Amino acid sequence: MDSYERAVTRRELLRLGVSASVAAVWMPRLLWGESPERLLATPSTTAGPFYPVIRPVDHDSDLTHVAGRGNQAQGQVIHIAGRVLNQRGEPVVGSKVEIWQANTFGRYNHPSDRNPAPLDPDFQGYGVQLSDREGRFRFITIKPGPYPSDGERIRTPHIHFDVTGLTDRRVTQLFFAGEPLNAQDRILQGVPHNREGVVADLLPPPTGEDPKSRLIQWDIVLPRG
């Protein structure tokens, strides 16, 4: 396994202050002999036109730093921590989780992006990781900016995900709760079912991290895993 595709470690999740939420949710039901409810699958969305043509040499789970450069990427730092589960609530071990996104100015590092906004040479823009034995993954990145699309339309801030499990693959987008542009974003508003499954809150920062950073806890649910 390449180093950038390593599974997230327990130490990293503890450093983030992420609790063992699986046990917290399911243990009471197990004690009382109840069957857990079936989880709703994370909705699929378009991959969009900016999946990397050539992956950056550095594409680990920290998108805020580029190997060989000393500066941090510009913008709001966010920690994304979650799990890949099937609809029975079981972890999907070894899922490949890819993310790609615009920088804080709303610009992708992609030859097809004609947005005149500046590139950030210190922003990685793409990352990949394998989920661990409990289905967990983690990324450190920058909250992306909105950007023009289809001429007059403006896309709300979002992060692209491509998740490949043992049986299923799901391409989706993660949106931020409370964004004014969410109400007019054609991709988000076009999600017919479980729209809340692709929207996440910005929470206080993980323990020990920059107090200006924020945390997103977001699970990805595949139908079978």
Q: What is the pLDDT of residues 74-86, one digit of tens each?
A: 999 999 999 999 9
Q: Tell me what the mean pLDDT of segment 199-218 comes to.
A: 96
- HEC string of 74-89 equals CCCEEEEEEEEEECCC
Long-range contacts of 89-92 (CB under 8 A, 24+ apart): 89/22, 89/25, 89/26, 89/36, 89/39, 90/135, 90/225, 91/22, 91/131, 91/133, 91/134, 91/135, 91/136, 92/131, 92/135, 92/165, 92/166, 92/222, 92/225
Cα–Cα dist 92/9, whole Å = 15
The active-site residue out of 108, 110, 126, 170 is 108
Nearest to 108 by CA among 57, 159, 71: 159
Confirm whether 160 is a catalytic residue. yes
Specify which residues 77 forms β-bridges with: 142
Domain that holds residue 204: 3-222
State both tokens at 32. 């009382």
At residue 196, φ and ψ (nearest 5 deg) are -65, -15
For the chain, give the percent of residues with pLDDT over 90: 77
- Is the pLDDT at 35 greater than 50? The verdict is no
The answer to whether the beta carbons of residues 84 and 95 sit under 8 Å apart is: yes
Confirm whether 193 is a catalytic residue. no
Q: How many domains is the chain built from? A: 1
| Antiparallel, parallel or unpaired: β 126-130 and 96-100 | antiparallel
Q: How is residue 132 annotated by DSSP?
A: -
In the prediction, which pLDDT does 9 show? 52
Confidence band (pLDDT; 50, 70, 90) for 25? very low
pLDDT mean across residues, the chain:
88
- CATH number of the domain that 192 lies in? 2.60.130.10
State both tokens at 208. 């020990």
Confirm whether 155 is a catalytic residue. yes
Confirm whether 59 is a catalytic residue. no
CA–CA distances in Å: residue 2 to residues 25, 84, 151, 221: 33, 20, 40, 25
In the prediction, which pLDDT does 4 show? 40
Q: What is the pLDDT of residues 170-201, one digit of tens each?
A: 999 999 999 999 999 999 999 999 999 999 99
The active-site residue out of 59, 79, 110, 147 is 147
Cα–Cα dist 21/198, whole Å = 19
